[in-house]
Structure 1
Amino acid sequence: MLVTAIIFILLGALIKYGKFYFLIAGYNTMTKEEKEKYHIEGIATLFKNVMFGMAILIIIGYFASKYFEDANLQNIFFYISIAIGVPYLLIQSNSKKYKK
């Protein structure tokens, strides 16, 4: 599970700081005119924050499972991070907040 957290951190950093916007679904297929309608820096920041948040929850779950010697805690934290992070990311990134 720590590998998943590291992947989320890397993806968040690459999207925000490496400007790997092609990793954002649908963005690379837009025309130049359509891309200009969106505040991509804001969306990239959102992706970074959500990915980092999901990674932190996964890491907390990993250490909690080790501390309490309960392997199920790791899975619970992982699924909670996905269940909260993915819908939040989808709803926020498609909101009017990031349209110019």
Structure 2
Amino acid sequence: MVGVALLFIVLGILIKYGKMYFLIAGYNTMSKEEKEKYDIEGIATVFLKAMFGMAIIIIVGYLVSIVTENTSIQNYAFYASLIIGIPYLLIKSNSDSYKIK
């Protein structure tokens, strides 16, 4: 599970600071004119925050499962991070606040 958390952290950093916007679904296939309508830096920041948040939930769940010696807690934390993180990411990144008017 910690490997997944590290993967989320690395992906968030690559999207935000490595400017690997092609990792954002749909952005890669947009025309240049369509891409200019979006604040990609703002969207990349949302991805960074969401990925870091999901990673923190997974790591905390892993540490709690070690302390309590209950391995199912890390699974709950993983699924909770996905259930919270993915809708947040989709709703926030697709909001009108990142469209340039």
The TM-score normalised by the length of structure 1 is 0.99
Distance in 2 (CA, whole Å) between partners of 1:23 and 1:84 is: 20
Distance in 2 (CA, whole Å) between partners of 1:5 and 1:53 is: 10
**Structural mapping, 1:20-99, within 5 Å:** 20-99=20-99
Instruction: Give the aligned residue type for 1:69.
Output: E
Show CA shifts across 1:3-34 (max 9, x none).
00000000000000000000000001000000
Give 5+ residue unaligned stretches, structure 2.
Answer: none
Show CA shifts across 1:51-89 (max 9, x none).
000000000000000000000100001000000000010
Give 5+ residue unaligned stretches, structure 1.
Answer: none
The TM-score normalised by the length of structure 2 is 0.98
**Count of matched residue pairs:** 100
* Equivalent residue, structure 2, for 1:12: 12
RMSD: 0.3
